[in-house]
Structure 1
């Protein structure tokens, strides 16, 4: 593990870390903000999963989370969205391949060699940060994400119900099995057997009985992907049918960008802090 950047911000440390990943068989990079409270004791951890085309740097540079994390005493972990490097499979288009790992373990060639983001974010990365950063309290965790990363946050939490005390998402892809982005990615990564897709589809998981302790979702009312790709009404319907509590807000006039994410980041972090104790 190599810390490539370590800078002071709001009294805490903003780190950028690179390491060799066993899950992806490539180097991987993540950012980690340690609030000033980490100098005195353990702090809760919020993991943020980014969206299509992004790296760790998008939220690190534009997410505007550090002031709130410093005030609330929250650590903030942001991994990359896919493996990268020589020999890593890619395909023309920004919604598949590099920057578009969809937080699954690919089973189909050529993707299966490196595209193992599910194992990376659910197993390898948590174990690494727990070992290297003892100030992180992994008994108090929350998860959030944006777009493809919102999909990842929902599915990771639904399949690890004891790990996270709260879950939120900005403009998530809630039912990837039913929308073009997800159908394209899942058919390439997981094959044409749609039964395998349901393990990575939040709406399907909720319908099958999986539950979340606390769920908050924001979408932009002017998001150009709202009706075709995000489909928040499907999540709302699934939660209503299952008795799953959901706080869903449609933010009038906001789009899909980090202008939207950064505007409501503090609200989400304050919400997570209340659940993390």
Structure 2
């Protein structure tokens, strides 16, 4: 699968990059960010997947969190995908902030209108790790996932379903029962 580099910036001795690719799971172009610490120049490093919350893109975590120094010091490759497919032209995908664009919920949709593009669970647990493992110096035996809000829920879902061989799962400020909230009702 071909990657198109969108940006590359030096940061704490490593490189913060953003890529775009044609996603098979989501049937659209997707972006993800990857931080390569200096250690990645000479050896494979652990991969840490960050899942952002509602309305975020791959830019949110990389521009606001300040994680780069710690990732550089500890030799961690950090991957931050977008939170949902974008520009799929599905009726209703842009009508509200908490459903559709920016709100993929890291699940695979089952309804006809959405199931062709909204397959974020399969994207983050299958397609993206395969893409990362094939193109970056990561150790596939040392993968972890963490996230905030909707992304924290996504991290838990990925870990509990055990489709990922992850070492650590961290969920920050996530709702463990999203169907009990009004925003979760829309995704039922």
TM-score range, shorter chain: over 0.9
CA distance in 1, matches of 2:141, 2:37: 17
Which residues in structure 2 correspond to 1:88-237 (within 5 Å)? 88-89=90-91, 90-133=93-136, 135-160=137-162, 163-185=165-187, 187=188
Question: What SS does the aligned partner of 1:167 have?
Answer: strand
Q: 1:179 to 1:129 in 2, by over 3 A?
A: same
| Equivalent position of 2:47 in the other structure | 45
Q: 1:7 to 1:161 in 2, by over 3 A?
A: same
Structure that is richer in strand per residue? 2
How far apart are 1:162 and its partner, in Å?
Answer: 6.2
- TM-score w.r.t. the length of structure 2 is 0.94
Q: State the superposition RMSD in angstroms.
A: 1.3
For the pair shown, the structure with the greater C-alpha radius of gyration is 1
Query: Whose relative contact order is higher, 1 or 2, with alpha carbons under 8 Å and at least 6 apart?
Result: 2
Query: Aligned pair count?
Result: 185
Contiguous gaps of at least 5 residues in structure 2: none
Structure that is richer in helix per residue? 1
Question: What SS does the aligned partner of 1:24 have?
Answer: coil
How far apart are 1:7 and its partner, in Å?
Answer: 1.2
How far apart are 1:182 and its partner, in Å?
Answer: 1.6
Contiguous gaps of at least 5 residues in structure 1: 188-277
How far apart are 1:169 and its partner, in Å?
Answer: 1.7
1:22-80 deviations in Å (ceiling 9; x for gaps): 00100000000011110110110110001100000000110111000001111100000
Question: What SS does the aligned partner of 2:54 have?
Answer: coil
8 Å CA contact retained: 2:152, 2:174: yes
CA distance in 2, matches of 1:88, 1:132: 31
- TM-score w.r.t. the length of structure 1 is 0.65
Out of 5, 9, 12, the position equivalent to 1:10 is 12
CA distance in 1, matches of 2:175, 2:186: 13
CA distance in 1, matches of 2:115, 2:69: 39
1:55 and 2:57 matched: yes
